[in-house]
Amino acid sequence: MKGFILVDKENIVRCMATEKVNLHEDKLHLDLFEDVELKGSVGDEYEAQANRWVKRPENYPQPSNAEKREELIQGRMRTILRKQAMDELITEGVISEA
């Protein structure tokens, strides 16, 4: 999708919109780029000469080890509970084996 972005002196995108009228009025003093492929987010860098977005890691937080561990546990629980439920339903004759 193409749109409009407002970029500060450090090439950081401070505002973006698909319609020019939707840009924040208080940021219109920043550099305006039109017809830009909106591939990034506010807070990312935009290099105008290369027409390239540079994703800034602080805008894309990674899950902590504890969160990753919890995701693994939850996934395993769903797998085990699903298998258990299927076995019970097959035993009860509610469903047949696929």
pLDDT tens, position by position, for the chain (98 residues)? Answer: 999 999 999 999 999 999 999 999 999 999 999 999 999 999 999 999 999 999 998 888 899 999 999 999 999 999 999 999 999 999 999 999 86
**Strand, coil or helix: 86:** helix
Regarding whether 16 and 31 lie in a shared domain, the answer is yes
Regarding whether 86 and 40 lie in a shared domain, the answer is no
Cβ neighbour number for residue 75 with a 10 Å cutoff: 10
Regarding whether 35 and 19 lie in a shared domain, the answer is yes
Q: How far is CA 47 from CA 33, 51, 52, 88, in A?
A: 11, 6, 5, 58
Which residues constitute the domain of residue 85?
62-98
Distance CA 11, CA 86 (A): 55
Regarding whether 55 and 9 lie in a shared domain, the answer is yes
Regarding whether 27 and 68 lie in a shared domain, the answer is no
Domain count, the chain: 2
Regarding whether 37 and 8 lie in a shared domain, the answer is yes
